[in-house]
Structure 1
Amino acid sequence: MNGPEILLSFAPELHLFVAAERTAPRTPVVTDGSSTLGHLVESLGVPLTEAGRLVADGTEVTVSHIPGAGESIEVYGVERPQRVPGAPLRFLLDVHLGTLARRLRLLGVDAAYTNEDPGDAALATLSAQERRVLLSRDRGLLRRREIWAGAFIYSDRPEDQLRDVLERFAPSLAPWTRCTACNGPLTDADKDSVREHLQHGTQRTYDVFAQCTACGRVYWRGAHHARLEAIVEQALKDSAG
């Protein structure tokens, strides 16, 4: 590019996305004089889903702002908790976030997911059609213009991923109300109505059951309940704090 030079500063939480030489405050950047600030920010590596306030010479501007020569631009991270207007807060997770999807569902959060990769275009289209926040560690996917809303998942550890989503979006939690397998709602079920789904040992040992109204899967407080309860308790504590 051979156009106006500006000074650009990225918030520390965005340094992950930019080259090392761009992490210093007020870094000189030569622009082409016609591209928008949003295009420039993305071209330097930051998905717009992760950019919060954009400030030019002390005045907040939008992504459509075209930087002028000598402007000092500050790019902030997303403010937390992030409010997503226009629809109930629902999520769509890419194929690499299956554990996170199941943990969100365990907490009663609407989290669409499939373990078969439908491709970036299909995920972006579904995000737009169903107005779901697309969660991904794929920066390229989050740059697709057709997504309704999105967020980068910063960690590869499920417990940290969950904590990050809860902190960023502050979704309403209703543990044990959603099927972890298909995302459908759970309803209380008596033993007689689900007996055909149970092994004899389970029938003898347990009396309290829930069943998914979408896929029919049956749940009870079995051997893994203590581990799941610990996940729920920690999530509730993180949300409250």
Structure 2
Amino acid sequence: MNGPEIQIRFVPDLRVFVSAERRSGHTPVATDGASSLGHVVESLGVPLTETGRLLVDGRPVDPSHVPVAGETVEVEGVARPQSVPGAPLRFLLDVHLGTLARRLRLLGVDAAYESQDIGDPALATLSARERRVMLTRDRGLLRRRELWAGAYVYSDRPDDQLRDVLERFAPQLAPWTRCTACNGRLSGADKDAVRERLEHGTEKSYDVFAECVECGRVYWRGAHHARLEAIVSDAVREFGDAAAR
């Protein structure tokens, strides 16, 4: 781009996406005089899924706005909690976010997960077909136009990833109602009905069971329950009230 020059500034949270020389504040950017502001922002490395208001000389504009010489652009981050209109809030996670998917399911959040790398085009198409918010750390995937909705997962630590998603979207929490393996719904199960699928020690030690209505997996409060309970308790304590609003 070597046309009209504008000044552009990203809020601090978005500077992780841009080159080092553009992180200090207002930076001159040469445009081509025809591309939209949304295209300019993405060309600098910031997915539009992560942007909130675009302000030109202090007035909000659409991403379709074509910048002209001398304009000053402020790019804000997404307002939190972020609303996703038009469909029940559901997520789709790529192959790199398996732990986050299991933790969302543990909290009763609808979180589909692709355990194989099916490629960005297929993920974007699935997001659109099932109207799911695509969660990923792949910036290129978030730029695909066929996505229904998407969000960048900023951390590589599962604890921080979970907090980020819960804070950003405030999903309704219903712990212990989804299968962490397949995302199906759990239903209470009679011990006699699942006895043949239990190891001898489990059969002798536990009496309360749940079963996935989709894959048939059986759950009980085993050795790992205390760790899972801590994840649930922390999330409900911090985000349960917000999610209910």
TM-score (norm 2): 0.97
Structure 1 match to 2:28: 28
Structure 1 match to 2:55: 55
Structure 2 match to 1:7: 7
Count of aligned pairs: 241
* Alpha-carbon separation, structure 1, partners of 2:77 and 2:181: 33
Q: Identity across aligned pairs (percent)?
A: 74
* Alpha-carbon separation, structure 1, partners of 2:38 and 2:182: 36
SS at structure 1 position matched to 2:102: helix
Structure 2 match to 1:235: 235
* Alpha-carbon separation, structure 1, partners of 2:67 and 2:114: 41
* Alpha-carbon separation, structure 1, partners of 2:2 and 2:154: 34
Structure 2 match to 1:144: 144
2:204 counterpart of 1:204: yes
2:134 counterpart of 1:134: yes
- Residue 7 of structure 1 deviates from its aligned partner by 0.9
- Residue 116 of structure 1 deviates from its aligned partner by 1.2
What are the Cα deviations for residues 153-178 of structure 1, in whole angstroms up to 9, with x where unaligned? 01000000000000000000000000
Tell me how large the CA RMSD over aligned residues is. Answer: 0.9
In the alignment, structure 1 segments of 5+ residues that lack a partner are none
SS at structure 1 position matched to 2:181: coil
Structure 2 match to 1:195: 195
**For residue 50 of structure 1, what is the amino acid of its counterpart?**
E
Structure 2 match to 1:103: 103
* Alpha-carbon separation, structure 1, partners of 2:21 and 2:237: 39
- Residue 204 of structure 1 deviates from its aligned partner by 1.1
Which of 111-120 and 96-105 deviates more?
Answer: 111-120
2:174 counterpart of 1:174: yes
SS at structure 1 position matched to 2:42: helix
- Residue 2 of structure 1 deviates from its aligned partner by 2.2
* Alpha-carbon separation, structure 1, partners of 2:64 and 2:132: 24
* Alpha-carbon separation, structure 1, partners of 2:148 and 2:231: 29
2:121 counterpart of 1:121: yes
SS at structure 2 position matched to 1:14: helix
**For residue 61 of structure 1, what is the amino acid of its counterpart?**
V
What are the Cα deviations for residues 101-131 of structure 1, in whole angstroms up to 9, with x where unaligned? 0000000000001211111111000000000
- Residue 22 of structure 1 deviates from its aligned partner by 1.1
What are the Cα deviations for residues 44-82 of structure 1, in whole angstroms up to 9, with x where unaligned? 000111011101111100110001111111000101000
Structure 2 match to 1:39: 39
What are the Cα deviations for residues 118-157 of structure 1, in whole angstroms up to 9, with x where unaligned? 1111100000000000000010111111000000001000
SS at structure 2 position matched to 1:236: helix
Contact 1:163–1:238 (8 Å) recurs in 2: no
Structure 2 match to 1:93: 93
Structure 2 match to 1:218: 218
Question: Hey, which bits of structure 1, 4+ residues long, moved more than 4 A?
Answer: none
Which of 111-120 and 7-16 deviates more?
Answer: 111-120
**For residue 56 of structure 1, what is the amino acid of its counterpart?**
V
In the alignment, structure 2 segments of 5+ residues that lack a partner are none
* Alpha-carbon separation, structure 1, partners of 2:202 and 2:79: 47
